[in-house]
Amino acid sequence: DAGVIQSPRHEVTEMGQEVTLRCKPISGHDYLFWYRQTMMRGLELLIYFNNNVPIDDSGMPEDRFSAKMPNASFSTLKIQPSEPRDSAVYFCASSLWQSGNTIYFGEGSWLTVV
């Protein structure tokens, strides 16, 4: 299995630009998560989906952030407009209901907003 695949791995963008992060979960998994990691705040859950439906988006910092999951094999996290404080590593992860909280993470998308 290829694991959770994220793109881009690294992105540097200017403040005010739109950023789109992409994720392909492990085939067959029915839960998908977006996490953000910074030195100051650690690893934070932003949003998670079950069967492509957003279940809890209480961790999304503000309206500039949005996430979609149009089908079982693809999700996006969009930031518009981006700000320097959005600089972080964004992880996508997926899980299968039967496996409880055994969650498989991707390698992350390293975002720098200048």
Partner 1 sequence: DAKTTQPPSMDCAEGRAANLPCNHSTISGNEYVYWYRQIHSQGPQYIIHGLKNNETNEMASLIITEDRKSSTLILPHATLRDTAVYYCIVNPSGGSNYKLTFGKGTLLTVNP
The footprint of partner 1 (CB under 8 A) covers 4, 31, 33, 42-43, 45, 48, 50, 55-56, 91, 93, 95, 97-108
Round to whole Å and give the CA distance between 26 and 34.
14
User: Of 42 and 70, which has the nearer Cβ to partner 1?
Assistant: 42
- Give CA angle at 111 (108, 114), nearest 5°: 170
User: Of 75 and 95, which has the nearer Cβ to partner 1?
Assistant: 95
Phi and psi at residue 50, to the nearest 5°: -130, 125
Smallest separation, CB 99 to partner 1 (Å): 8
User: Of 15 and 55, which has the nearer Cβ to partner 1?
Assistant: 55
The number of C-alpha atoms within 13 Å of 36 and in the hemisphere containing its C-beta is 21
Q: Residue 41: which H helix or E strand, with range?
A: none
Smallest separation, CB 81 to partner 1 (Å): 27
Smallest separation, CB 60 to partner 1 (Å): 13
User: Of 56 and 83, which has the nearer Cβ to partner 1?
Assistant: 56
Q: Which two tokens stand for residue 113?
A: 């907003």
Smallest separation, CB 89 to partner 1 (Å): 9
Nearest to 65 by CA among 43, 40, 90, 41: 90
